[in-house]
A and B are shown apart, each in its own frame.
Chain A
């Protein structure tokens, strides 16, 4: 019984981190209908920034969020203006975004591989191997900090969307792009800002990845497969769905990893994805997605 609760705790902490990883993907799809296959490579790129900030300058990965997020926000806005404004109004916009971001992902992956080689990296802050106890249960400190930071950022995102003027615009655009435009929302500006936010969330995710999960450039494909699976599970573009999906699948993969075999953990994601496609193709919380 204790083992089960213990595994659930690991899963919950993991799920909290996955929720942050997937949140940016969800924002990009929800607001702009961009399926960003480069999201995970953004995260890996941010992980490199955090890793070198820690390794060379001794900056704690959790603190590096403070400069990585603005940096990635700017890069995200730039990328949006450079690439996606060109295909606005294309009849196959969503499909185009998939292919374009696929190309961008390959490009960044190649650049990272060329610059930093394919060796595994992992930042090693002091709390990485620490843990504390609640009764008999172990809580790894590093994972706990990561889940807390994820919680803070996601709450901040929620409050931003709920209470600020830009947040109103973003939510209006998410609900109905054309109607938002009609009532005077500058949809292009909102889209650029949203993509920046999405990239900034990837930046924060990367800071966590730098010490939680050993990474190398090619790794991002495995991550994007997992993240997309849980975004589809939650219903594409639904932030609530992504968070709940992440928590559920974090626990599921933790259980599978513990009871079936450590290598089989990610299977939970793929099994859930194909299961949901068979039963309810639109996902748990999603609206029907048109091509």
Chain B
């Protein structure tokens, strides 16, 4: 990715960075981010002053969840260039790891969400160990198979509720404040995943991943521990998705295999990251906000989720054919990227 945009400008990657992110605006982006975070932190407390409060907080919670998932997916799919169509599996595993103790032993997912994340990491490590023996198409295929294998397992184990899933108790809080804890949990996850993505992008590890995306054989010859890096990227990309899975199941008050282990969720992650700009820090965030808005709009406008699916497909094909670098990548190529979006 880096190479593409660098060669497009006829410059070395480092030089591009220096041109597009001079020192002054570099600070302003931290101010923008800080103000935004502060607003997001206090927003739910303004309950008495906001009409349709419940709708907006639900909307915000969902957007934050998608930001988390797209940013996490980007670690493997963007930086390392390994497209996974199976990342919904981590959402499901996180969801069930929190749901089972809640259903059988009344343990709140607010304690087990981290365990859900860690379980996702464990699965990511094992799955990465096996699937990352292949490259390109065979890898993508094996991630789809991984997803369907888990769907099959969760649908057929009675202890986990089978196809019907498990009904969960709702959070023991007064009606008015039921949604706020989920909002803050998702905010934590979104910030956590963006920080993780930023840290990866600015580390030696991230540089290694980008080298792998460029040319894996060369990277290996140059001394990048490719296998270890790839598995680590797979594992890291799983954590926050597992975490939000735990929260999502609790907020819905049920978990069900066909809701969690679905290609549709993987598809959204891929689409958000690609539309925003694969392999950039800000891209998946923008993509998530944009696609979620399009989804909401089309549901309000057309009422049917099928039209919504068609729109998602058309967008994906169009972006791939005409803007393969996504919003952030394309803007950067043309030198129009505002400084507060430039975090790479």
A residues whose Cβ falls under 8 Å from a Cβ of B? 29, 35, 83, 86-87, 94-96, 98-100, 102-111, 113-114, 221-222, 224-226, 228-229, 231-232, 236, 261, 263-264, 266-267, 269-271, 273-274, 277-278, 281, 289-291
Determine whether the beta carbon of A107 is less than 8 Å from that of B321: no
Determine whether the beta carbon of B304 is less than 8 Å from that of A114: yes
State A29–B315 Cα separation when bound (angstroms): 25
Query: Which stretch of B34-42, B141-149, B193-201, B243-251 is in the interface?
Result: B141-149
Most chain A Cβ neighbours within 10 Å, of B136, B138, B149, B309: B138
Enumerate the 4 nearest inter-chain pairs by beta-carbon distance, A residue then B residue, closest first: A107-B313, A110-B309, A291-B136, A103-B316
B155 within 8 A of A: yes
B48 within 8 A of A: no
Determine whether the beta carbon of A106 is less than 8 Å from that of B306: no
- Tell me which residues across on chain B come within 8 A of A270, comparing CB atoms: 145-146, 148-149, 152
State A105–B308 Cα separation when bound (angstroms): 14
Partner of B85, one of A102, A264, A274: A102
Chain B positions 61 through 105: 1 when the CB is less than 8 Å from some CB of chain A, otherwise 0: 000000000000000000001010100000000000000000000
B258 nearest in chain A by CB position: A218
Determine whether the beta carbon of B145 is less than 8 Å from that of A99: no
B8 within 8 A of A: no
Given contacts A107-B310, A114-B307, 18 further A-B pairs with CB under 8 A are A35-B140, A95-B83, A96-B324, A98-B83, A99-B270, A99-B274, A110-B307, A110-B312, A114-B304, A232-B138, A236-B137, A266-B148, A270-B148, A273-B142, A277-B130, A278-B133, A281-B134, A290-B135
How many Å from the CB of A64 to the closest CB on chain B? 25
Partner of A277, one of B133, B136, B144: B133
Partner of A99, one of B148, B309, B316: B316
State A267–B309 Cα separation when bound (angstroms): 28
How many Å from the CB of B88 to the closest CB on chain A? 11
**CB neighbors of A among B132-174 (8 A):** 133-138, 140-142, 144-149, 152-153, 155-156
Determine whether the beta carbon of A98 is less than 8 Å from that of B137: yes
Determine whether the beta carbon of A100 is less than 8 Å from that of B156: no
- Tell me which residues across on chain A come within 8 A of B135, comparing CB atoms: 289-291
Can you list 14 A-B contacts with CB-CB less than 8 angstroms, sorted by A residue number?
A87-B321, A98-B140, A102-B85, A102-B316, A106-B316, A110-B309, A110-B310, A221-B262, A270-B145, A271-B149, A273-B141, A273-B145, A274-B130, A289-B136
State A102–B266 Cα separation when bound (angstroms): 11
- Tell me which residues across on chain B come within 8 A of A290, comparing CB atoms: 135-136
Determine whether the beta carbon of B156 is less than 8 Å from that of A102: no
Partner of B152, one of A100, A104, A106, A267: A267
Partner of A291, one of B216, B306, B321: B216
State A257–B335 Cα separation when bound (angstroms): 58
State A196–B320 Cα separation when bound (angstroms): 23
State A291–B132 Cα separation when bound (angstroms): 12
B140 nearest in chain A by CB position: A98
- Tell me which residues across on chain A come within 8 A of B312, comparing CB atoms: 106, 110
B15 within 8 A of A: no
Determine whether the beta carbon of A221 is less than 8 Å from that of B263: yes
B267 within 8 A of A: yes
How many Å from the CB of A287 to the closest CB on chain B? 12
- Tell me which residues across on chain A come within 8 A of B131, comparing CB atoms: 274, 277
- Tell me which residues across on chain B come within 8 A of A108, comparing CB atoms: 313
Determine whether the beta carbon of A289 is less than 8 Å from that of B138: yes
B314 within 8 A of A: yes
- Tell me which residues across on chain A come within 8 A of B304, comparing CB atoms: 114
A91 nearest in chain B by CB position: B4
**CB neighbors of A among B24-48 (8 A):** none
**CB neighbors of A among B302-335 (8 A):** 304, 306-317, 320-321, 324
- Tell me which residues across on chain B come within 8 A of A99, comparing CB atoms: 83, 270, 274, 316, 320
- Tell me which residues across on chain A come within 8 A of B314, comparing CB atoms: 103, 107
Q: With A35-B141, A261-B156, A270-B149 given, is the CB distance from A96 to B310 under 8 Å? A: no
State A87–B133 Cα separation when bound (angstroms): 27
Determine whether the beta carbon of B145 is less than 8 Å from that of A225: yes
- Tell me which residues across on chain A come within 8 A of B149, comparing CB atoms: 267, 270-271, 274
- Tell me which residues across on chain B come within 8 A of A273, comparing CB atoms: 141-142, 145
Determine whether the beta carbon of B148 is less than 8 Å from that of A222: yes
State A247–B318 Cα separation when bound (angstroms): 38
A228 nearest in chain B by CB position: B141
- Tell me which residues across on chain B come within 8 A of A83, comparing CB atoms: 317, 321
How many Å from the CB of B24 to the closest CB on chain A? 36
Q: With A94-B137, A266-B152, A274-B130 given, is the CB distance from A106 to B309 under 8 Å? A: yes
- Tell me which residues across on chain B come within 8 A of A105, comparing CB atoms: 313
Determine whether the beta carbon of A94 is less than 8 Å from that of B306: no
State A271–B156 Cα separation when bound (angstroms): 16
State A90–B314 Cα separation when bound (angstroms): 20
B162 nearest in chain A by CB position: A263
How many Å from the CB of A251 to the closest CB on chain B? 19
State A277–B85 Cα separation when bound (angstroms): 17
How many Å from the CB of B89 to the closest CB on chain A? 12
Q: With A102-B267, A103-B314, A267-B152 given, is the CB distance from A95 to B145 under 8 Å? A: no
A229 nearest in chain B by CB position: B145
State A100–B130 Cα separation when bound (angstroms): 26
State A278–B131 Cα separation when bound (angstroms): 8
- Tell me which residues across on chain B come within 8 A of A271, comparing CB atoms: 149
Determine whether the beta carbon of A110 is less than 8 Å from that of B308: yes
State A226–B141 Cα separation when bound (angstroms): 10
Q: With A274-B130, A281-B138 given, is the CB distance from A86 to B313 under 8 Å? A: no
B85 nearest in chain A by CB position: A102
B302 nearest in chain A by CB position: A114
Determine whether the beta carbon of B317 is less than 8 Å from that of A100: yes
Most chain A Cβ neighbours within 10 Å, of B137, B147, B309, B314: B137
